[in-house]
Amino acid sequence: MANVLENHITFGSIPVTLSQIETFLKSTTSGAQVIFQGVVRGDTLKEGDVVKAIEYEGIEGMIISEVEKIAQQLSEELKIEKFYFHHLLGLVPVGAPSIFIGIAGGHRKEVFQALDLAMDNIKRTVPIFKKEIGHTNSQWK
């Protein structure tokens, strides 16, 4: 029998709250939930400048379709039941989260593995691009 997957895939300029993710992940059939926030770091840029923010841009129609593919793959391979994705677009300052992932499934090993695979695949295939902005320099990555 195929695993039924429930998705929440959004992006925009307003962050979500952890309680929004927790509410979505609630289930009487999932024994494990994991929530991840990717936070903007103050990395060093060229000539010693430091990142103060990242500007994110994306190809909006493709973001949803690529994330749906990733979630479906995780459902088929690891039997996850719920997948939550939200990515900020626009300017995100150092210390603020830019990506939110929530995963619910039967067991902890599968949800942690799913989170790791999800992040690797999101970075590899989802068309979201970032420009690191320093105090005097900026660079696309």
Token code pair at residue 55: 């500007």
Q: What is the pLDDT of residue 65?
A: 96
Q: What are the structural domains of the chain? A: 6-140 (3.90.1170.40)
Per-residue pLDDT of the chain (141 residues; tens, 9 = 90+): 346 689 999 999 999 999 999 999 999 999 999 999 999 999 998 888 999 999 999 998 899 999 999 999 999 999 999 999 999 999 999 999 999 999 999 999 999 999 999 999 999 999 999 999 999 989 998
Tell me, what's the pLDDT at 45?
A: 87
Residue 2 has a pLDDT of: 47
3-state SS track over 2-43: CCCCEEEEEEECCCCCHHHHHHHHCCCCCCEEEEEEEECCCC
pLDDT confidence of residue 3: 62
Radius of gyration of the chain (CA): 16
> C-alpha distances in angstroms, 14 versus 64, 87, 90?
17, 9, 9
- Has this prediction a pTM greater than 0.85? yes
